[in-house]
């Protein structure tokens, strides 16, 4: 695809890579070929300052509900209830902040990749519970999203939130669980069928020795002071990652036929560079970016690119974008938008300066995509595709998006010279004697801005929208068209 | 049956706690226009399946109050005999929070089957739930659930939607090869949606797979909206259902039954795996969770029975519970219990054999902490199929199991 992209092609690419087209992107990127558009988007997102928001939660996390034996049960329960409430509130703030960042970020490609990895690795705010850990993990994914798969895996396996989520914390010779090894093999690397029970055992042993403890310099709590029957979080002194060689099972381990002195990091490095991992990552990217690859030719190519470049994400994505499959008819409108993509795209299209983030995160949850919570308690990502519209009332929820958006003033910023409707008029019925030309212009601009499929008849939409009037009513009608649900 | 008026429907809508999600005004519709449902009225028998999510502890539901082995195994979470509700003629007492359910038992409208399970039990939530929902022990579970298979081939019902799940993730129980079941997570949202509008927006779109999924979902949505709007004529709001997702699901179920919706099988769910929510998966603090869940269950089922008795529908309704598995006899170190095996099954209706049924839990017959089963759950399914729905059980079940009679022939 070395030719300059046509306008519909540019929009297709922008929808897939950066949530949606915006007038600014269209101006900046028109006349370029697919590879150059990708390079521009990648460079813009790779500037760290453009992509990384300030943390919003107080760090480090301090456990205010440690289960001291000396405390009365009642006092412990009071502290734990207060902590749960604080965590719940902070997780809600975190969801809103991340969504806000996806909407406003100057590095949308990076944010889209963070969302991809969120699903690829799985996330459970219930299992992790500690919002600071979730925030820290998102920051890690954000900084590593534009590097390589092995680099990302290397950091994630020793990330506090991941350690809690998969059960690696406190994993020692006396208490070896299969769970972390199984999750890593099944969901993060080689995938189903790519390993045996023996590999699970060997990897479990390689993962031993790591735990989370009090932050450097913080007051340490001895285990003897705590109630041994208390839950894990009531016994957690901090999120500082520690390695205790005496709790590591050293010695040679055989992982997928290779025998070495594996520890957690070297085992992950080895798994990250396996052909089966390469293939799974390639397929997951195609799936996420909605590229139909019936012959599996592109999947094969991605697997070799992955192995040649040691999982370099830029090269992988560029291969996808410049492939003929990306531009085939079958790949057009072939994705059912995820709720996050629907919401982020709508806010970007409408240039909402102050989107109602908390209402939107509630809407995301109802639509089946609570941020930080993938299905099955984080074991695996969102299934996507028709699962986004099953059961069917999820579709009804998707149609409510314009109303959720209307919870805050719309800042449309339409370039129509003849005064588009102001926010205050949005709910009003069309007034008698409205200047027909200005209404049409606003509707045309809005229709263009919302980026629906070609062929949507403006007059039909308008007639339907006129019943309840205003920009919002019009946007609602456009957003309920099949094309708007697809990307 | 009186047709619902618009005013009644709006009053009903107003009684629903404020939906967190507003509605597109364009989708407003006169609720009385129940999309052709008026022609299909159904006054036959229905089954309501209630999932007690997480693995309900049978030992603290029906407490073996005269067995020391129970008290020795549970020094911290056993229920004292004097706390329980005594069941005359039995060496057992009910959990005190089941007082509402107990009243239904006394009235002859409910019962509890004891020692229910299946051979070589699994203690995995996923696998054991799959076995109960599929009604099959086959390692490769059928793609359709036990009631789904009944809807596919047994019920002879010529309607688009014959199974409805209210709330929760779609359960295998109602999954049907002929797509006759719908899961409705947010009925209140569909109450004012215009099914015709939903169809209209489909008139133009790309011809590809996602679009056909969209079309299928859109038409399912229209069907679900029609059902909900039809059921809005029910009288459930008067009966004191718990204001919880379970209570609302059960109330919608009763409203659908009352309004003669042509649905044969329903599925509702109680209990959650979410942090902070009460769960039957009582690894920790079992007593507090049971207190809440049993009260919610009792209150909900009581409202359900009262509503359907008042509308003269109770004789055609059978409600049965199921749960992932039972719990182990011995308590753990966190005032809870671990996954076990056989447990109890609660049921209610106008034509049931009331009281405690089946052999009492035999605390001498415990394997790895879990109670051995004495009644195969598929015997209950066989009873429902043969004696309730009047179809041969082998239309649905892959193995011949003698029915265990819970249904009373009337």
pLDDT in tens, B211-238: 888 888 887 888 888 888 889 999 999 9
A interface mutation test: which of B19, B20, B23, B24 has the most A CBs within 10 A?
Answer: B24
DSSP classification of residue A187: I
Tens of pLDDT along A242-281?
999 999 999 999 999 999 999 999 999 999 999 999 999 9
Q: What angle do CA B319, B320, B323 make, to 5 degrees?
A: 145
Nearest CA in chain A to B181: A391
The CATH architecture of the domain made up of B46-189+236-358+396-410 is: 3-Layer(aba) Sandwich (3.40)
Nearest to B205 among A406, A465, A482 (CB): A482
Q: How confident is the model at residue A417 (pLDDT cuts 50, 70, 90)?
A: very low
| CA distance linking residue B277 with residue B271, whole number of Å | 8
Residue A310: how many CB atoms within 10 A of its CB?
A: 15
CA distance B239 to B215: 38
DSSP code for A253: E
| Nearest Cα residue in chain A from B185 | A393
Whether B276 and A385 lie within 8 Å, measured CB to CB: no
Q: How far apart are the CA of B27 and the nearest CA of chain A, in angstroms?
A: 9
Instruction: Report the candidate in B149, B124, B153, B150 with the shortest Cα–Cα distance to residue B139.
Output: B124
Burial class (CB in 10 A: 0-12, 13-18, 19+), B409: exposed
Q: Are B259 and B230 in contact (CB under 8 A)?
A: yes
Distance from CA of A136 to the nearest CA of B (A): 21
Chain A nearest C-alpha distance from B201 (Å)? 6
Segment among A422-426, B300-304, B382-386 with least mean pLDDT = A422-426
CB A440 within 8 Å of CB A418? no
Domain segments of chain A as ranges: 49-272, 339-485
> Is B237 in a helix, a strand, or coil?
helix
**Identity of the residue in A84, A393, A402 whose CB atom sits nearest the CB atom of B184:** A393
Chain B residue at shortest CA distance from A481: B201
Residue B312 has pLDDT above 80, yes or no: yes
Note the Cα A105 to chain centre separation in Å.
14
Contact (Cβ atoms closer than 8 angstroms) between residue A131 and residue B277: no
- pTM beyond 0.80, yes or no: no
Position B201 scores a pLDDT of 56
Which DSSP symbol is given to A386?
G
Best of B210, B215, B218, B331 to disrupt the A interface by mutation (most A CBs within 10 Å)?
B210
How far off is chain B from A336, nearest CA to CA, in Å? 6
Strand order in the sheet with B62-63: B62-63, B93-94, B85-86
Q: What percent of chain A has pLDDT over 70?
A: 87
Chain A nearest-CA distance from B160, in A, is 15
Residues A305-315: what's their mean pLDDT? 98
Q: Helix or strand or coil: residue A9?
A: helix
Which is higher by pLDDT, B203 or A400? A400
Q: So what's the pLDDT on residue A350?
A: 85
Residues of A in contact with B184 (CB under 8 A): 391, 393
Q: What percent of chain B has pLDDT over 70?
A: 86
Name the more confident of A234 and B205: A234
Neighbour-count burial of B360, counting CB atoms closer than 10 A to its CB (0-12 exposed, 13-18 middle, 19+ buried): middle
pLDDT in tens, A161-203: 999 999 888 787 776 778 899 999 999 999 999 999 999 999 9
Q: Which helix (H) or strand (E) holds A259?
A: strand A258-260
* Residue in A with minimal Cα distance to B223: A392
Task: Compare CB distances from B185 to A363, A386, A391 and report the shortest one's residue.
Answer: A391
- pLDDT tens digit string along A194-243? 999 999 999 999 999 999 998 877 777 888 899 888 888 999 999 999 99
Please indicate whether, in this complex, the C-beta atoms of B25 and A473 are within 8 angstroms of each other.
yes
Where is average pLDDT lowest: A270-284, A380-394, A398-412? A398-412
Buried b (16+ CB within 10 A) or exposed e, A101-114: bbbbbebbbbbbbb
Please report residues of A whose CB lies closer than 8 A to that of B26. Answer: 464-465, 467-468, 473, 476-477
Q: How confident is the model at residue A477 (pLDDT cuts 50, 70, 90)?
A: confident
Which of B214, B224, B225 shows the shortest C-beta gap to A389? B214
User: What CA–CA distance (Å, rounded) separates A292 from A287?
Assistant: 8
Would the pLDDT of A29 be above 50?
A: yes
Q: Phi and psi dihedrals of A453, rounded to 5?
A: -70, 155
Cβ separation of B217 and A390 shorter than 8 Å?
yes
CB contact under 8 A, A393 and B221: yes
Q: Which residue has the higher pLDDT, A270 or A462?
A: A270
CB contact under 8 A, A389 and B186: no
What percent of chain B has pLDDT above 90?
Answer: 66
Q: What is the dihedral of CA B296, B298, B304, B305, to 10 degrees?
A: -170
- Taking contacts as CB-CB distances below 8 angstroms, the residues of chain A near B21 are 362-363, 366, 397, 400, 403-404
Helices (H), A355-407: 357-366, 393-398, 401-405
Residue B195, pLDDT score:
59
Q: 3-state class of B280 per DSSP?
A: coil
Number of inter-chain CB pairs under 8 A, A vs B: 130
Supply the mean pLDDT for chain A: 87
| CA dihedral of A80, A81, A82, A84, whole degrees rounded to 10 | 80
* Cβ atoms within 10 Å, residue A453: 17
Cβ–Cβ gap B210/A385 under 8 Å: yes
Cβ–Cβ of A366/B27 closer than 8 Å? no
| Other Cβ atoms within 10 Å of A93 Cβ, number | 17
| Separation of first and last alpha carbons in chain B | 23
The residue among B343, B373, B241 whose CA lies nearest residue B282 is B343
Quick one: DSSP state of residue B47?
Answer: E
Torsion angle defined by CA atoms of residues B266, B262, B18 and B195, in that order, rounded to the nearest 10 degrees: 130
DSSP single-letter state for residue A392: T
Structure tokens at A273: 């560079």
Torsion-angle region of residue A21: left (phi > 0), alpha (psi -120 to 50) or beta? Answer: beta
How far CA A25 is from CA of A13, A108, A340, A348, in Å, comes to: 11, 11, 20, 11
Which of A88, A366, A391 lies closest to B184 in CB terms? A391
CB contact under 8 A, B208 and A333: yes
> For the stretch A226-242, what's the b/e string if a residue is b when 16 or more beta carbons lie within 10 angstroms of its beta carbon?
bbeebbebbbbbbbeee
CA distances to B245, B340, B348 from B273, in Å: 14, 17, 26
Contact A482 B214 (CB under 8 A): yes
**In the structure encoding, which two tokens stand for residue A100, read together?**
């806000």
Residues across chain B: 410
Q: For residues A119 and A139, give the distance between their C-alpha atoms in angstroms, rounded to a whole number.
A: 15
Q: Return the SS3 of A441.
A: helix
Please report the DSSP string for A292-341 in residue order. --TTSHHHHHHHHHHHHHTSBHHHHHHHHHTSTGGGSGGGTT--BPPHHH
Q: Which residue has the higher pLDDT, B30 or B257?
A: B257
Question: Rounded to an integer, what distance in angstroms lies between the CA atom of residue A268 and that of residue A153?
Answer: 7
The stretch B161-189 carries a mean pLDDT of 88
Q: Per residue in B191-202, pLDDT tens?
A: 777 656 555 555
* Nearest CB neighbour to A231, from listed B20, B21, B284: B284
**Residue of chain B with shortest Cα separation from A391:** B183
Between the alpha carbon of residue A121 and those of residues A183, A262, B33, B125, the distances in Å are 9, 22, 46, 22
The answer to whether residue B7 scores a pLDDT higher than 60 is no
Signed CA dihedral, A269, A273, A276, A277: sign only: positive
**B234 CA to chain A: closest CA distance, Å?**
21
pLDDT at position A22: 92
CB–CB of B206 and A486 under 8 A?
yes
Q: Using a CB-CB distance cutoff of 8 angstroms, which residues of chain B are in contact with residue A384?
A: none
Query: According to the model, what pLDDT value does residue A454 have?
Result: 64
Measured CA to CA, the distance from residue B3 to residue A343 in angstroms comes to: 40
- Are B170 and A391 within 8 A, CB to CB? yes
Place of tokens 């939107």: A360
Residues 6 or more apart in contact with residue A155 via CB below 8 angstroms = A140, A144
pLDDT digits (tens, 9 = 90+) for B139-161: 988 999 999 999 998 888 888 88
Q: Is the pLDDT of residue B313 over 90?
A: yes
Task: Centre a 10 Å sphere on the Cβ of residue A474 and count the other Cβ atoms it contains.
Answer: 26
To 10 degrees, what angle do helices A264-272 and A149-156 make?
A: 150
- pLDDT confidence of residue A478: 80
Give the pairing of strands B163-166 and B181-184. Answer: parallel
On the question of pLDDT at A322 being above 50, the answer is yes
Q: In a 3-state reduction of DSSP, which class is residue B43? A: coil
Of B21, B210, B214, the CB nearest to A366: B21
Based on the number of CB atoms within 10 Å of its own CB, is B80 exposed (0-12), middle (13-18) or buried (19 or more)? Answer: exposed
What does the block give as tokens for B220?
């399912």
Q: What is the pLDDT of residue B191?
A: 79
Residue B108 burial (CB count, 10 A): 14
Contacts of residue A22, Cβ cutoff 8 Å, sequence gap at least 6: A14, A348, A349, A351
Interchain CB distance below 8 Å, B24 and A476: yes
What distance in Å separates the CA atoms of residue B54 and residue B63, rounded to the nearest whole number? 19
**pLDDT number for residue B137:** 96
- In the DSSP assignment, the letter for residue B39 is G
pLDDT tops 90 at residue A469: no
Inter-chain residue contact A231 with B334, CB threshold 8 Å:
yes
Residue B22 predicted with pLDDT over 50: no
For position A441, what pLDDT does the model report? 55
Among candidates A88, A363, A468 on the partner chain, residue whose Cβ is nearest the Cβ of B25 = A468
How many angstroms separate the CA atoms of A182 and A157, rounded? Answer: 13
Q: How many CB atoms lie within 10 A of CB B146?
A: 25
Contact at 8 Å (CB) between B23 and A366? no
- H/E stretch holding A211: strand A210-213
Instruction: Tally DSSP H helices, then E strands, for chain A.
Output: 24, 4
Q: Which stretches of chain B sit within 8 Å of chain A by CB?
A: 20-27, 170, 182-187, 189-190, 193, 201-202, 204-206, 208-211, 213-218, 220-221, 224-225, 273-276, 284, 333-334
Q: What is the pLDDT of residue B275?
A: 62
* Euclidean distance between CA atoms B129 and B222, whole angstroms: 30
Q: Work out the mean pLDDT of chain B and round it to a whole number.
A: 86
The residue among A285 and B184 whose pLDDT is bigger is: A285
Rounded to an integer, what distance in angstroms lies between the CA atom of residue B282 and that of residue A184?
A: 28
What CA–CA distance (Å, rounded) separates A330 from A332? 6
Residue A305 C-alpha, separation from nearest chain B C-alpha, in angstroms = 29
In angstroms, the CA A162 to CA A154 distance is 12
Q: Which of B19, B21, B197 to mutate to test the interface with A (most CBs of A within 10 A)?
A: B21
Report the range of poorest mean pLDDT among A348-362, B35-49, B72-86, B245-259: B35-49
CA distance B55 to chain A (A): 17
Q: Which residues of B touch A482 (CB under 8 A)?
A: 201-202, 204-206, 211, 214-215
Nearest CA-CA partner of B263 in B44, B50, B33: B44
Residue of A nearest to B207 (CA): A333
For residues A57-80, give the mean pLDDT: 91
Q: Is B206's CB within 8 Å of A362's CB? A: no
Cβ(B387)–Cβ(B402) under 8 Å? no
CA torsion through residues A326, A329, A333, A334, sign = negative
Inter-chain touch B27–A477, beta carbons under 8 Å: no
Alpha carbon of B284: minimum distance to chain A alpha carbons (Å): 9
Q: What 3-state DSSP class applies to A68?
A: strand
**Which has the higher per-residue pLDDT, B15 or B373?**
B373
Residues A138-142, mean pLDDT to the nearest whole number: 95
DSSP alpha helix (H) spans, A375-435: 393-398, 401-405
More confident residue, A358 or A318: A318
């Amino acid at each position: 695809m070395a030719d300059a992209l046509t306008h519909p092609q540019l929009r297709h690419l922008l929808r897939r890579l950066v949530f949606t087209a915006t007038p600014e992107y269209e101006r900046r990127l028109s006349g370029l070929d697919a590879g150059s558009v990708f390079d521009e988007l990648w460079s813009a997102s790779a500037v760290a300052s453009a992509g990384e928001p300030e943390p919003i939660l107080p760090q480090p996390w301090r456990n205010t509900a440690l289960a001291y034996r000396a405390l009365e049960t009642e006092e412990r329960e009071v502290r734990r209830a207060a902590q749960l409430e604080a965590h719940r509130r902070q997780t809600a703030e975190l969801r809103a902040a991340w969504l806000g960042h996806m909407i406003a970020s100057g590095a949308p490609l990076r944010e889209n990749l963070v969302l991809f990895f969120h699903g690829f690795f799985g996330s459970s705010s219930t299992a992790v519970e500690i919002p600071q850990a979730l925030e820290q993990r998102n920051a890690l994914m954000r900084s590593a999203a534009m590097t390589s798969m092995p680099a990302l895996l290397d950091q994630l396996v020793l990330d506090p939130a991941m350690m809690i989520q998969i059960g690696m914390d406190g994993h020692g010779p006396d208490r070896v669980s299969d769970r972390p090894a199984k999750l890593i093999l099944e969901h993060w690397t080689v995938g189903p069928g790519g390993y045996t029970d023996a590999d699970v055992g060997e990897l479990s042993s390689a993962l031993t020795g790591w735990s989370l403890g009090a932050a450097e310099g913080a007051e340490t709590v001895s285990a003897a002071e705590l109630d041994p029957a208390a839950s894990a979080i009531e016994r957690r002194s901090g999120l500082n990652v520690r390695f205790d060689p005496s709790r590591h099972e050293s010695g040679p381990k055989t992982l997928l036929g290779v025998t070495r002195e594996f520890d957690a990091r070297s085992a992950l490095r080895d798994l990250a560079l396996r052909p089966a991992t390469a293939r799974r990552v390639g397929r997951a990217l195609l799936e996420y970016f909605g590229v139909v690859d019936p012959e599996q030719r592109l999947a094969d190519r991605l697997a070799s690119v992955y192995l040649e470049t040691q999982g370099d994400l830029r090269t992988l994505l560029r291969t996808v974008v410049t492939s003929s499959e990306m531009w085939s008819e079958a790949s057009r409108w072939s994705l059912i938008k995820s709720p996050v993509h629907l919401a982020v795209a709508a806010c970007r299209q409408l240039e909402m300066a102050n989107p109602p983030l908390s209402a939107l995160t509630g809407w995301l949850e109802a639509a089946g995509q609570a941020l930080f919570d993938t299905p099955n308690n984080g074991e695996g990502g969102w299934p996507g595709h028709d699962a986004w519209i099953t059961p069917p009332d999820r579709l009804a929820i998707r149609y409510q998006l314009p109303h959720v958006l209307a919870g805050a003033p719309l800042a449309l910023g339409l370039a129509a010279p003849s005064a588009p409707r102001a926010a205050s008029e949005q709910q009003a019925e069309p007034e008698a004697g409205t200047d027909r030309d200005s209404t049409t212009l606003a509707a045309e601009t809005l229709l263009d801005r919302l980026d629906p499929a070609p062929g949507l008849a403006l007059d039909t939409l308008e007639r339907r929208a006129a019943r309840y009037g205003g920009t919002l009513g019009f946007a609602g009608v456009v957003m309920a068209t099949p094309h708007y649900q697809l990307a | 049956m009186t047709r619902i008026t618009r005013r009644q429907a709006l009053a009903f809508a107003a009684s629903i706690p404020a939906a967190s999600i507003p509605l597109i005004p364009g989708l407003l519709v006169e609720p009385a226009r129940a999309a052709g449902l008026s022609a299909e009225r159904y006054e036959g028998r229905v089954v309501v399946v209630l999932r007690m999510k997480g693995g309900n502890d049978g030992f603290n539901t029906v407490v073996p109050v005269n067995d020391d082995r129970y008290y020795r195994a549970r020094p911290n979470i056993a229920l004292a005999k004097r706390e329980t509700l005594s069941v005359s003629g039995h060496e057992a007492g009910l959990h005190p929070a089941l007082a509402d359910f107990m009243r239904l038992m006394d009235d002859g409208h409910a019962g509890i089957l004891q020692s229910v399970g299946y051979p070589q039990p699994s203690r995995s939530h996923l696998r054991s739930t799959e076995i109960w929902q599929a009604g099959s022990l086959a390692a490769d579970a059928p793609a359709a659930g036990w009631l789904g298979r009944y809807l596919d081939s047994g019920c002879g019902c010529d309607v688009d939607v014959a199974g409805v799940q209210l709330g929760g993730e779609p359960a295998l129980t109602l999954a049907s090869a002929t797509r006759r079941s719908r899961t409705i997570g947010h009925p209140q949202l569909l109450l004012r949606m215009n099914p015709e509008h939903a169809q209209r927006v489909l008139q133009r779109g790309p011809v590809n797979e996602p679009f056909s999924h969209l079309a299928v979902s859109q038409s399912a949505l229209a069907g679900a909206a029609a059902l909900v709007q039809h059921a809005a004529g029910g009288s459930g709001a008067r009966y004191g259902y718990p204001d919880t997702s379970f209570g609302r699901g059960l109330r919608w179920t009763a409203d659908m039954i009352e309004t003669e919706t042509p649905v044969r099988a329903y599925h509702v769910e109680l209990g959650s795996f979410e942090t902070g929510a009460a769960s039957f998966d009582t690894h920790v603090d079992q007593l507090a969770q049971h207190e809440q869940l049993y009260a919610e269950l009792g209150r909900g089922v009581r409202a359900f029975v009262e509503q359907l008795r008042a509308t003269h529908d109770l004789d055609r309704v059978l409600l049965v519970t199921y749960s992932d598995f039972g719990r182990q006899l011995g308590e753990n170190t966190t005032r809870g219990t671990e996954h076990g095996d056989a447990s109890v099954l609660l049921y209610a209706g106008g034509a049931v054999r009331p009281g405690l049924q089946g052999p009492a839990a035999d605390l001498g017959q415990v394997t790895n902490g879990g109670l051995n089963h004495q009644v195969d759950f598929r015997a209950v399914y066989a009873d429902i199929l043969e004696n309730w729905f009047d179809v041969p059980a082998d239309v649905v079940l892959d193995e011949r199991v003698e029915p265990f009679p819970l249904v009373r022939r009337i």
